[in-house]
Amino acid sequence: MDEICIPGYKIKAKNRRKISRVKSGGIVLGFRENISDCIQVIETNSKFVLWCKISRLFKDGDVIHGVVYIPPEYTAYSSPDAFGEIESEYLELSSKYENIFMVGDFNARTASEKDYIFIDENDKNNELECVSVNDVCNLNLFNIPIDRNSMDKGKNRYGNQLLELCKCNSLFIMNGRLATDRAGKFTCRNASVVDYCLCNVNFIKNIISLNVLEFSHLYSDVHCPLFICLNCNQSVKESIEQNNFTSQSNKKVNKWDHEKKPEFRENLNFEKLDSL
């Protein structure tokens, strides 16, 4: 279990149980220290998702965010229960919170198949009674197309399970639906789409854009980063930034102690001085 340190950020990790002699990896969530009071990690049993509650940053209340990693099929880390575990925890959280979204690597190829079920309430052959309004119809309220695009034309078993997860829980895949990713760009090896942003209909209004960035070895072995811009509470954001600026301004600088001259010299980075 490596300790990940990023200046200015707090790190929370959910490591997989050790399966072999090598490190088994897991999921990491990083967030800026100045919003740490707004982020609370929710402890759950599934090793495939790390949940956190985001408070105060959105106008319509608390938001639940899930960071997902489902290992590829037919590997030592794969599990037939992965999607079932995520669904079970999602159902428990959705009974308490209205706004939920998930981001991560699902290793699921879904092509551009429907992630929703539309029930025609006027269909006389429909035997379902008291059918409620289809959540998918609400996409039109946000100028989001009902059907999505994808450059990936392939599907796999995990893809079918992901589509079922969405259909049964009114979750929507944002890839290939927003203006910033209307084509549904490849996210892995320039050949497949396996990294997704999913959300329920209540949270859709908070998503400003989704972009699939260019691949970089700095971030991943084969995956492109997903860059998602969210509409947060501006007044809270400004308050946090102001408090952060004030706390930095109030830091006291001690008077120079001549006896610490050797210690000061030892901490100088002469390579950076030369470059400057």
3-class SS string, the chain? CCCCCCCCEEEEEEECCCCCCCCCCEEEEEEEHHHHHHEEEECCCCCCEEEEEECCCCCCCCEEEEEEECCCCCCCCCCCCHHHHHHHHHHHHHCCCCEEEEEEECCCCECCCCCCCCCCCCCCCCCCCCCCCCHHHHHHHHCCCCCCCCCCCCECHHHHHHHHHHHHHCEEECCCCCHHHCCCCCCECCCECCEEEEEECCCHHHEEEEEECCCCCCCCCCECCEEEEECCCHHHHHHHHHHHHHHHHCCCCCCCCHHHHHHHHHCCCHHHHHHC
Q: What is the pLDDT of residue 21?
A: 67
**Range of weakest confidence among 115-124, 142-151, 202-211:** 115-124
218-262 pLDDT per residue, tens: 889 999 999 999 998 887 777 777 776 666 666 667 788 888 999
What is the structure's pLDDT at 25?
Answer: 79
pTM: 0.83
- pLDDT, one tens digit per residue, over 83-102 is 999 999 999 999 999 999 99
What number is the average pLDDT over the span 22-44? 90
Identify which has the larger pLDDT, 112 or 271: 112
